[in-house]
Amino acid sequence: MTVVREPIWDDAPAGKLQGVVRRLVKMLGSLGWAARIFVVGAFYFPSVACRRDSRHSLMSQLYITGIRTLPVVTVVSLFMGMILALQVGLELRRFNQEIYLGAAVMISLIREMGPFSCGMCLAACVGSAIAAELGTMKVNDEVAALEIMSISPIRYLAAPRMLALMLMAPLLGFYCCVIGTVGGGVVGTTQLGVNFEQYMASAMSIAETKDLFVGLLKSLVFGIIIGTVSVAEGFGCEMGATGVGRSTQRSVIVSFLLILMFGYMITRVCYR
């Protein structure tokens, strides 16, 4: 009987300076690799939307990205709105300003927390699955088989997944805002003594079209980030099953960090 061992990862640098240089070069290489995948994938988006076989793959990815994540997104956004309403409402009660509860919850959700919670759910549920799936195909030489048959792996595998995330992320972000606002209204009515009609009137009066567009822009950017990072990590997978696990882990971590950073930068640019 032959025992197959997983390869050992040996990334220990000889010195501190060498370690810093190695990490910097690796980071720049990863950024260039991800940028290339996004540019090439965006080039194939029209082909994905027009070709019959690609449309079937796109519809399948839209279902996986949108419909199958709805239970998780619903629970997360509902409790996000309930937590916001409870924490903000308790502070507003100290100043007898509970009438502004709806406005506070709506602004928090539509500007930041709705797209943020949507991005986290997509990165955890969809991004990790994409990285694991493509990583498994890479280590099993299925990606190499497509290249041998002159089929672009980015067009056939990456572009439908990236396009599905770009299309569904804004819709799910808006859905998160709606469900979170309703959850906040339930908490305000049952625990803080705020009339639901008054709560909704306050929420709708403070929300502006700019806030909605900024929230949708954030969701779109988060979808691009998750799709690009997940595909890049999947195609860059090496070293067998150990590499698949590391690629899946990195895709989630990097997506989370980029979502936080880009969320701040978009807010800073749009609300100077």
Is the pTM here over 0.85, yes or no?
Answer: yes
Residue 144: pLDDT above 90? Answer: no
**Predicted local distance difference test score (pLDDT) of residue 3:** 39
Give the CA count within 13 Å in the CB-facing half-sphere of 79: 5
DSSP 141: T
Residue 166 banded pLDDT, cuts 50, 70, 90: very high
CB atoms within 10 A of CB 196: 14
Helix (H, G, I), strand (E, B) or coil at 69: coil
| Cβ-based burial of 228 (10 A; exposed 0-12, middle 13-18, buried ≥19) | buried
- pLDDT tens-digit series, residues 32-87: 888 888 888 889 888 888 887 778 888 999 999 989 999 999 999 999 999 999 99
Instruction: Report how far residue 241's alpha carbon sits from residue 28's, in angstroms, rounded to the nearest whole number.
Output: 25
pLDDT at 2: 41
Instruction: Grade residue 11 by pLDDT with cuts at 50, 70 and 90.
Output: low
Domain limits, the chain: 26-270
Residue tagged 């090439």 (tokens): 40
Chain centroid to Cα 144, Å, comes to: 28
Q: What percentage of the chain exceeds 70 in pLDDT?
A: 94
Q: What is the pLDDT of residues 235-253, one digit of tens each?
A: 888 877 888 888 899 899 9
Q: What is the pLDDT of residue 96?
A: 83
CA distances from 137 to 13, 132, 241, 253 (A): 30, 9, 11, 21
Q: pLDDT at position 238, please?
A: 80
